[in-house]
Amino acid sequence: MVEIKYEFGDCRSLLKKVDDHSIRMVVTSPPYNLNKKYGIYTDNLQMGEWKKLLDETIKEISRILTNNGSFFLNVSPIPNKKTKEIIPLDSIAWEIGKRNGLFLRNKIIWHFNNMQNCVNRLSGRWEAILWFVKDIDNYVFNLKDVKIPVITKNDKRFDASSGRNPTDIWYFDRVNNMTKQKLGISKAPCVYPVPLIERIIKMSTNKDDWVLDPFVGSGTTLIACKKLERNAIGLEIDENYKSIIEKRLKTETSQTKII
């Protein structure tokens, strides 16, 4: 049976307790500085402070990853609070990852349709998922586990029985308020979709590996790991998420040894 652990506090200090080279994959979605109401966390850092949070976190991630490990970072373009100019957080995050010794393997575009419509610019319909690896020549990549159906069975480029590469543009619906209501997690903002995290876990880890999410929020990464039999550690600054995580682990999975 896999272990699913979670701890509350600032991930920058909690990560220091994690052993070197002990985690196969880190996947996370940090606060985007969008003034979201996360509970006790105020999502309105100065850009310099946000970069420092990311830099200090990625430094620890780089240390705890196994040599063939991966780091998936989900960030979105955001409007500057004053000027409304768009800031490409993924470009900023790429530089920070690079500075901490990681290599970019793919920039995955997570495309969705269910989002508000803008009136003075094009409506945003994607977020970035940066796939970093510690060693560009050696990393886990289980392509066969994430293949998708071929488009036409007569296309000779593909073996119809084994499917095709899912490419670097992924469509997954965002978790909307109705779904959150159904799951009883209405208070959690920015919950990412379980199937999206499941694809990342299948692709970059094997059964019984350890996965970590330093900004785990409502526990989506923990749910996906439990379903796919991976051990998981979730870190979260706001202890109010404890009941949400517990509830989700009970209702969305079964047979979990919670520590």
Ligand X SMILES: C[S@@+](CC[C@H](N)C(=O)[O-])C[C@H]1O[C@@H](n2cnc3c(N)ncnc32)[C@H](O)[C@@H]1O
Which chain residues interact with ligand X by CB under 6 A?
Answer: 10-12, 29-31, 38, 41, 188, 190-192, 214-215, 217-218, 220, 235-238
Half-sphere exposure of 11 (CA within 13 A, CB side): 29
CB closer to ligand X out of 2 and 185: 185
Q: Measured from the CB atom, is 11 or 146 closer to ligand X?
A: 11
Kindly give the residue spans of alpha helices, DSSP state H, lying in the chain. 11-14, 47-64, 89-99, 177-183, 194-204, 220-227, 241-251
Smallest distance from ligand X to CB 245, Å: 9
Distance, in Å, from the CA atom of 66 to the CA atom of 115, rounded to the nearest integer, reads 37
Which SS3 state, helix, strand or coil, does residue 253 take? coil
Q: Which helix (H) or strand (E) holds 22?
A: none
Shortest reach from residue 140's CB to ligand X, in Å: 22
Helix (H) or strand (E) holding 236: strand 231-236
User: Is the CB of 38 or the CB of 71 nearer to ligand X?
Assistant: 38
CB of 20 to ligand X, least distance (A): 20
Closest contact distance (angstroms) between CB of 88 and ligand X is: 17
The least distance separating ligand X from the CB of residue 134, rounded to whole angstroms, comes to 22
What is the pairing mode between strands 257-258 and 3-8?
A: parallel
Q: What is the DSSP letter of 42?
A: B
Task: Dump the DSSP string for 176-223.
Answer: -HHHHHHHT-TT--SPPPHHHHHHHHHHH--TT-EEEETT-TTTHHHH
Tell the burial category of 247 from Cβ atoms under 10 Å away from its Cβ (0-12, 13-18, 19+).
middle
Shortest Cβ 255–ligand X spacing (Å): 22
